A and B are shown apart, each in its own frame.
Chain A
Amino acid sequence: MTGLDYLWQALTPFNLLLALAGVVAGTVIGSLPGLTATMAVAVLVPITFSMEPASALILMGAIYTGAIYGGAYSAILLNTPGTPSAIATTFDGYPMAKRGDGDLAITLACVSSVVGGLVGAAFLLGLAPPLAEVALAFGPVEYFWLAVFGLTLISALSDGNLLKGLIGACFGLLLACIGVAEISADIRFTFGSQVLLGGIETVSALIGLYCIPVMIDLVATPDRHLKVTTESKGFRLREALAVSWKSKFNLIRSSVIGTLVGILPGAGGSIAGLVAYSEARRSSKRSDSFGTGEPEGIQATESANNATVGGGFIPTLVLGIPGTPPDAVILGALLIQGVRTGPSLFTENGAIVYTFIYGLILATILMLPAGLIIGRYAYKSIITIPKALLVPTVAFMTMIGTYAIRNSISDVVIMIVLGVIGWFLNRFGFSPSPIVLGLILGRIAEQGFVQAWTIGAATEDLTGMFFGRPISLVIIAFTLVSLFYPLIRKRWSMKGGAVSAD
Chain B
Amino acid sequence: MDILRKIGVTSVAVAMSLAVSGLVSGVPQAEAFPDKPVNYIIPFGPGGESDITARHQQSFFKDKFGQDLVIAYKPGGGGAVGWSQLNGMIGDGYTMMGINLPHIVVKPLQKDVGFKTEDIIGVYMFHYTPDAVVVNADSDIKSLQDLIDYAKANPGKLTMSGSGKGTANHLAQVRFDKMADIKTTYVAFKGTGKAVAALLGDQVKAEWGYTSVGAKHEGKVRLLAVAMEERHPKFPDVPTFKELGFDLVSGAYRGIAVPKSTPEEVRVKLSEMIGEINADPEFRKRMENDGMALLDVGYKDLNAFVAEQAKAYEAAAREAGVIK
Which A positions have Cβ atoms within 8 angstroms of B?
A: 38-39, 41-42, 45-47, 49-50, 135-140, 179-180, 182-185, 187, 192, 194, 197-199, 201, 265-266, 315, 319-322, 325, 327-329, 331-333, 335-336, 338, 340-342, 344, 406-408, 410, 447, 450-451, 454-455, 457-460
Contact = CB atoms under 8 A, between A and B. Distances in A.
Contact of A408 (B47, B76, B217): B76
B76 A335 contact: no
A406 B75 contact: yes
B47 A199 contact: no
Contact of A407 (B48, B74, B111): B74
B52 A335 contact: yes
A68 to B, nearest CB: 17
B293 to A, nearest CB: 16
Given A183-B164, A192-B112, A455-B187, A138 B201 contact: yes
Contacts of B46: 38-39, 41-42, 45, 325, 328-329, 332
A201 to B, nearest CB: 8
Contacts of A265: 193-194, 197
Contacts of A185: 78, 110, 164-167, 188, 322
A325 B47 contact: yes
B3 A47 contact: yes
B220 A194 contact: no
A26 to B, nearest CB: 16
A180 B78 contact: yes
B193 A183 contact: no
B52 A197 contact: no
Nearest to B290: A335
A253 B75 CA distance: 36
B197 A135 contact: yes
A451 B164 CA distance: 11
Given A321-B193, A332-B47, A139 B77 contact: no
B159 A458 contact: yes
A320 B217 contact: yes
Nearest to B62: A46
B311 interface: no
B189 interface: yes
12 contacts: A47-B3, A140-B203, A185-B167, A185-B322, A187-B113, A266-B190, A266-B194, A327-B47, A332-B48, A451-B189, A454-B159, A454-B187
Interface residues of B, number: 63
Contacts of A407: 41, 72-74
A179 B58 contact: no
Nearest to B79: A180
B142 interface: no
Given A137-B201, A406-B74, A407-B72, A451 B289 contact: no
B217 A136 contact: no
B143 interface: no
A147 to B, nearest CB: 14
Contacts of A138: 201
Contacts, number: 175
A321 B73 contact: no
B61 to A, nearest CB: 11
Interface string B190-230: 10011011101111100000000000111110000000000
A336 B55 contact: yes
A47 B188 contact: no
Contacts of B58: 46, 49
B197 A319 contact: yes
A64 to B, nearest CB: 13
B8 interface: no
B13 interface: no
B80 interface: yes
B84 interface: yes
Given A139-B201, A197-B77, A335-B290, A455 B159 contact: yes
Contacts of A187: 77, 110-111, 113
User: Which 10 residue pairs spanning A and B have beta carbons closest together?
Assistant: A198-B76, A328-B47, A136-B201, A458-B185, A139-B203, A197-B77, A42-B46, A185-B165, A194-B114, A198-B81
Given A136-B197, A183-B189, 8 more contacts: A183-B165, A185-B110, A320-B216, A331-B47, A338-B286, A406-B73, A407-B74, A455-B203
B130 to A, nearest CB: 18
Contacts of A331: 47
B308 interface: no
B190 A447 contact: yes
Given A139-B201, A180-B78, A455-B185, A325 B166 contact: no
A74 to B, nearest CB: 23
A200 to B, nearest CB: 10
A336 B56 contact: yes
A179 B76 contact: yes
Contact of A342 (B47, B78, B189, B220): B220
Contacts of B216: 320, 335, 340-342
A455 to B, nearest CB: 5
Interface string B101-115: 000000000111110
A455 B74 contact: no
Interface in B23-65: 41, 45-48, 51-52, 55-56, 58-59
A333 B164 CA distance: 24
A185 B165 CA distance: 6
B48 A328 contact: yes
A447 B159 CA distance: 16
A64 B152 CA distance: 49
Contacts of B178: none
Contacts of A42: 46-47, 73
B159 A199 contact: no
A191 B210 CA distance: 35
B65 to A, nearest CB: 15
